[in-house]
Each structure stands twice: as C-alpha cells, then as structure tokens.
Chains A and B, each alone.
Chain A
Amino acid sequence: MDKPILEIKNLVVEYRTEDGVVQALNGLDLTISPGETHGLVGETGAGKTTTGLGILKLIPDPPGVVVDGEIYLDGKNVQESNEKEMEGMRGYDVSMIFQDPMTSLNPVMTVEKQIAEVYELHENIKEAEALKKSHEILELVGIPAARGSEYPHQFSGGMKQRVVIAIALAGNPKLLIADEPTTALDVTIQAQVLDMMKHLKEEYNTAMLMITHDLGIVAEICDKVSVIYAGRIVEQGNLVDIFDNTRHPYTEGLFNSLPNLADRTQKLKPIKGLMPDPSDLPTGCPFHPRCDYAMDICSKEKPPRVFRTEEHYTECHLYNEANIKEGGVIKRD
C-alpha cells in the first residue's frame, strides 16, 4: 500500500473560551492515500472545518488548542513544524478551497494577481511569469485568460468558485482540502463545479478531503467516507460500505433525511433533536439522546470501534465482532 498523504491520529482540539471549553474534536482518526478522495460528512458544528484548519495548522489560537494527537502531512509532523515551514507547505503541499467564494477572494485585487501570488510565494519566479502561469490555470478551470485582469465583483458566484479552485490548484498540491466547496452555489453550477473538480483531480492525481454535509456530493465524487459526529468519526468505510451496508444509526439518520426521488410523496424522516452543545457533550456515546436504538449502556460507556471489514468500521454499542457482518439491526423503511 502507498504511503498515506495524510495521517491524523487521535486528534483532540478544544476551543477554550471564557464561557467554557468547547470540545471541537475528540480523538479523530483519518488516513488519506495518494489520489484518494475522502468525504468527511456531518452536521453543522461536528468539527469538519476544524479538521481542515487543523491540517493547515490554521486553527485560530486563541481560543483553539490542539490538546492531543498527531497530524502527518506527506510524512511531516504538522504539530512540530514551525510557522516558516508551514508557510512553505500551505498552498504547495496542501491547499484549501473555502466554503464561500463570495468572501474568500480579495475584492480590491485582480483575479490573475491573486492566483499569481501562489506562484510568487512557492516557485520564486517573477511577476510577469507568474501572471502567465495564472492565465494557463484560469483556462484550465474554464475561464478565458482575458478575464484575469478583472476584479472578483465582476464574476458570478460559480466563476468565483472556479477562481478559488484555480488558486488552490496552482501550487499543484498533494492534498486538497475542499471545505463545502459547492454549498454557496446553486445546483446547476454545483454539478459543473463538481464535474470539473473530479476531472482536475484525476488529471493531477491529487488526494482530496471533501468536507460536506451533502451525501449526494459524496456519492458523486468520493472513494471513501467518514461520518463525523461531535468531533469523532462514528463510521468509516468505502462508498459501498457506507451507502449499502450502513451500520451506525446516525449514518442511517442522515440517509433518511434525504428526499427519496423514487417516491416523491414519501415524507422526510429527520434525525430528532439537535447537535449536542459541544461545550457540554453527553456522557457515553454522544449520539445516544437522539438515537432510536439507544440502550442503557449507551449513556454510560463510550462505544468501542468494531470492524466489519478491514476498512469499514463503526463505533456503536449495537455491534460486536459477531453481529456486525450480518447487519440487520437497522431496518430501512
């Protein structure tokens, strides 16, 4: 097996504010191999963006504190790297596509200059050459090079997101973190942008961490999926594992919250309740107050990790080594 591009081991991140300690990540494990697209799925506040920022060592500090855990980016320990080393890695080894293209571009700088910045920072070349290269990558994401001398406000939302993607790809990173890249776009543009990302990813063989709450996007683009709840991965596996052999009740709940196109009259079945307050997480399994299958043990002990196959596991008291292979505990409507 290839050496992983990204390896996160038992990452614990807290935001320490005056009002209390927010436990954003509680022992997150994640491994991404070269060329792999890994989906990180979960609700708002589950710790998805914190994971992305953690890889870049950009968690705002204060209040964010990495309490425990290790992050290896292409073999390099992120926690032990100093700021200068991180500056060399950001945009070059790893880059990030931000959620909202409307606010992630500098409004008073031309688009080509913003892309050229990446080349100037990492390739040590002159501005004219950097601009030329920025035109090439603009064409690659489907924007005429002539429009490079325009400002972001002259672009539509979809085109801005293409520019943001161009900036992220400019350094030819080994890992691309996409933080809900299509959330701010309307569905038709979403499809175009996703298609383009898929295409570019294959062309450059870039590994990608796709942060999203949209299972449709996961099905479209990802190879592997991690379902994150309250800062911990509750189920991880490949697409078939997660979609067809769903084990964790939370994952099941996410699927039930999607409209069924085959049966349009069917009512949605949302997960009851809200995400727990991350500064006051329930004891035991953090999902138990919302879980239909909750048992006594769920509120007392943290569930162990149970493997169905080598790469599909879940953390839930419903399963043990014996029954996880069969499924059957969860019934689909």
Chain B
Amino acid sequence: MEAKKHKKKGPIVEVLQRLGRNKTAMVGLAIVIMLIVAAVTSPFFYDYDEVIIKQNIPERLQHPSKTYIFGTDDLGRQIFPRIIYGARVSLSVGFSAVAIAFIVGGFLGAVGGYYGGVIDNVIMRFMDIFLAIPGTLFAITIAAALGSNIRNLIIALAISSVPGFARIIRSSVITVRDVEYIEAARAIGAKDSRIVLNHVIPNALAPVIVHTTLNVASIILTIAGLSFLGLGVAPPTPEWGAMLSAGRTYIVGHSYMTAFPGFAIMITILALNLLGDGLRDALDPRLK
C-alpha cells in the first residue's frame, strides 16, 4: 500500500506541486498560457490582410469604444487585433531565439564544464568575446549588415544569448561533474556521452530552467526596444515596440495608442518574471 502511495511522485511532480502552491507564479503561468493561446489562435479570428495591415484612413485615431475596443491607430487599423498579433511576433521570436541559444549554449557549456582544461578555456574565452558586445548593439549590427527581418532578429538575439546559457550550464555541470554518482556511473562502465546525457544534464538543469524563463522576458524586451528604434520587425508587421514608436507622435490626445502596447509589453514581462521567480523557489531544494 505504502509503495502505491509513493509511486510516480518523482522530482518533477514534486517541483510542479510546489509551483502550484505559489500563487504569484500561478498568476504568471496563467498569463503566459493566455498569451500563447491568443497568439496561436489569433489567425482564426482576424484576417491578417484585411484587419491587421489594411489601412482604413476614415476611421483613423478613434478612441476606445464598443466598436474598437482599444481604439484605432493613425492609419485607421484596430489596435486590439494588432496587439494580439504582436504577441505572435514577440513570443515566437522570443521563444525561438531562446531555444537556439539554449541548444547551442547548452552544448558548449556542457562540453566545456565536463571536460574542463583546454577545451573549457577555448570555449569560455570565445564566449567572453561575445559577452563583451552589448546585446542590443550586436542586434543593431546584424540588422544593419544583413537587413532587418524576423529571421535576422532571431539570429542576432540568439547569438547574444548564447554566452549566458553557456556560462550557466557550465557552472552547473561543474558542480554536478564531481559528485559521487557520476564516479559511480563511470565505475559501472558508462561512456562519456551516456554519463552526460543521463546523469549530468538532468541534474544540472534546474538553474537553467529559471534562466530560460527570465531570458525569454529580456529578449522580448529587446525586440520591443529594437522595433521602437526601427531596427527590429519592419512595418507593417504589428509589433509592440513598433506600435509604441508609431504612437509617440500622437501621445497628446491619443495616449491609448502608446498605452496599450506598453501595457502588453509590461504584462508579458511581468508574467514571465513571476513564473521564473516561482520556478526558482520551486527548484530550490533548501525550501523543501
């Protein structure tokens, strides 16, 4: 009976249970899920060509009303659907840049941390070079050199996030590397690749998960910043930073044009940070 009660209650389930008890983290998680759902389903509700990018000059600069929930912008486009579509851009760029950075940085960090010595030194000094270039500046350079489109934006943001991941994974692999169960795995004849995949990475992952969540938030912020400067996503693609920038001219009298995209950015970042903090607490074994 006792065995049954314990069954399947692995570390992951335990972490999720602890996360579930953290109310602010659950709020963050709910908002993130809501945004993802909105981003994924938006094409079913709004036609991209008709609603999102088609100009409708007679209806320009309408204040929020029943017809236009968030009002319309200087070209007569409804702000609400554009914000929903903006989530698509921000989240897809944010998540894919982080995913690339996670895989590349994770591989480099894990290899450097596990083998140490010369390999580690070469990788980490190389990472230091990238770390010395400010992320925004790097993205601007890439945009200037290769043109500003979503693919280049993802590449630029991913590259500037790689060193952060490499460092975090490396340090966490180093702490795990010398633990006795790694030695025990070696003593039963396991190969390096197996040790890294089965034993090192699963145990080194906790701090990385937190960093990933927080990194998505900072990347979304960078996207908005770049688009605000006209270097991120090119118009007429709806993007929060670009919308903010467009609303700047009309901030007196039509403040909703900047308020709503700003609010969208704020709530996304807030939600991701709440979730990240909650995960950090949930993964911290000292709080068990």
Q: Check A56–B187 contact: CB distance below 8 A.
A: yes
Q: Check B184–A164 contact: CB distance below 8 A.
A: yes
**Interface-side segment among B47-55, B95-103, B140-148, B196-204:** B196-204
**Interface-side segment among A105-113, A192-200, A233-241:** A105-113
Given contacts A106-B199, A108-B203, A109-B199, contact A151 B185 (CB under 8 A): no
- Indicate if B33 sits at the interface (CB-CB under 8 A): no
Q: Provide the bound-state CA to CA distance between A59 and B160, in Å.
A: 39
Q: Check B190–A87 contact: CB distance below 8 A.
A: yes
Q: Check B11–A108 contact: CB distance below 8 A.
A: yes
Q: Check B180–A58 contact: CB distance below 8 A.
A: no
Q: Provide the bound-state CA to CA distance between A88 and B191, in Å.
A: 10
Contact with B along A35-75 (1 / 0, CB 8 A): 00000000000000000000010100000000000000000
Q: Provide the bound-state CA to CA distance between A96 and B190, in Å.
A: 13
Which among B10, B188, B199 has the highest number of chain A CB atoms within 10 Å? B188
Nearest residue in B to A62 (C-beta to C-beta)? B117
- Indicate if A144 sits at the interface (CB-CB under 8 A): yes
- Indicate if B3 sits at the interface (CB-CB under 8 A): yes
- Indicate if A136 sits at the interface (CB-CB under 8 A): no
Q: Check A90–B7 contact: CB distance below 8 A.
A: no
Q: Check B180–A100 contact: CB distance below 8 A.
A: yes
- Indicate if A118 sits at the interface (CB-CB under 8 A): yes
- Indicate if A149 sits at the interface (CB-CB under 8 A): yes
Q: Which residues of B contact A121 (CB under 8 A)?
A: 188-190, 194
Contact with B along A127-168 (1 / 0, CB 8 A): 000000000000000001011011101100000000010011
Q: Which residues of B contact A171 (CB under 8 A)?
A: 188-189
Q: Provide the bound-state CA to CA distance between A322 and B56, in Å.
A: 115
Nearest residue in B to A100 (C-beta to C-beta)? B180
- Indicate if B186 sits at the interface (CB-CB under 8 A): yes
Q: Which residues of B contact A99 (CB under 8 A)?
A: 180
Q: Which residues of B contact A118 (CB under 8 A)?
A: 188-189
Q: Check A103–B181 contact: CB distance below 8 A.
A: yes
Q: Provide the bound-state CA to CA distance between A106 and B176, in Å.
A: 10
Contact with B along A84-109 (1 / 0, CB 8 A): 00111111100110111001111111
Number of interface residues of B (CB under 8 A): 24
Q: Check A90–B199 contact: CB distance below 8 A.
A: no
Contact with A along B1-27 (1 / 0, CB 8 A): 001001111110000000000000000
Q: Which residues of B contact A150 (CB under 8 A)?
A: 3, 6-7
- Indicate if A9 sits at the interface (CB-CB under 8 A): no
Contact with A along B164-180 (1 / 0, CB 8 A): 00000000000000011
Q: Provide the bound-state CA to CA distance between A164 and B183, in Å.
A: 13
Q: Check A98–B8 contact: CB distance below 8 A.
A: no
- Indicate if A122 sits at the interface (CB-CB under 8 A): yes
Given contacts A107-B11, A110-B10, A150-B6, contact A87 B181 (CB under 8 A): no
Q: Check A95–B199 contact: CB distance below 8 A.
A: no
Q: Which residues of A contact B184 (CB under 8 A)?
A: 96, 98, 104-105, 164, 167
Within the complex, what minimum Cβ distance (angstroms) separates A80 from chain B? Answer: 18
Residues of B within 8 A of A (CB): 3, 6-11, 179-181, 183-191, 194, 198-199, 202-203
Q: Can you list 30 A-B pairs, Cβ within 8 angstroms, ordered by A?
A: A58-B186, A58-B187, A87-B189, A88-B189, A90-B188, A91-B187, A98-B180, A98-B183, A98-B184, A98-B187, A100-B180, A103-B179, A103-B181, A104-B181, A104-B184, A105-B181, A106-B202, A107-B11, A107-B203, A110-B10, A117-B190, A117-B198, A121-B188, A144-B3, A146-B3, A149-B7, A150-B3, A150-B7, A167-B184, A168-B188
Residues of A within 8 A of B (CB): 56, 58, 86-92, 95-96, 98-100, 103-110, 117-118, 121-122, 144, 146-147, 149-151, 153-154, 164, 167-168, 170-171
Sample of 13 further A-B pairs with CB below 8 A, known A108-B10, A147-B3, A154-B9: A89-B189, A96-B187, A104-B184, A106-B181, A106-B202, A107-B11, A108-B11, A109-B198, A117-B188, A144-B3, A150-B6, A153-B11, A154-B6
Q: Considering the complex of A and B, which 6 residue pairs feature the smallest CB-CB distances, nearest first?
A: A91-B188, A90-B189, A91-B189, A103-B180, A104-B180, A96-B187
